[in-house]
A and B are shown apart, each in its own frame.
Chain A
Amino acid sequence: NAGVTQTPKFQVLKTGQSMTLQCAQDMNHEYMSWYRQDPGMGLRLIHYSVGAGITDQGEVPNGYNVSRSTTEDFPLRLLSAAPSQTSVYFCASSYSNRVRNTEAFFGQGTRLTVV
Chain B
Amino acid sequence: AQKITQTQPGMFVQEKEAVTLDCTYDTSDPSYGLFWYKQPSSGEMIFLIYQGSYDQQNATEGRYSLNFQKARKSANLVISASQLGDSAMYFCAMREGPGGSYIPTFGRGTSLIVHP
Chain A contacts to B: CB under 8 angstroms: 31, 33, 35, 40-45, 48, 50, 56, 58, 88, 90, 92, 94, 96, 100-106, 108-109, 111
In the assembled complex, the Cα of A97 lies from the Cα of B116 at a distance in Å of 42
Give every chain B residue within 8 A of A108 (Cβ-Cβ). Answer: 43-44
Least CB separation from A59: chain B residue: B105
Sorting the interface of chain B by its residue count into under 10, 10 to 19, 20 to 34 or 35 or more gives 20 to 34
The A-B contact count (CB < 8 A) is 71
Give every chain B residue within 8 A of A56 (Cβ-Cβ). Answer: 101
Least CB separation from A103: chain B residue: B47
Other A-B contacts than A45-B105, A100-B33, A103-B35, 13 sampled, CB-CB below 8 A, are A40-B9, A41-B108, A44-B106, A50-B102, A96-B97, A96-B102, A100-B52, A101-B33, A102-B95, A104-B35, A104-B47, A109-B43, A109-B45
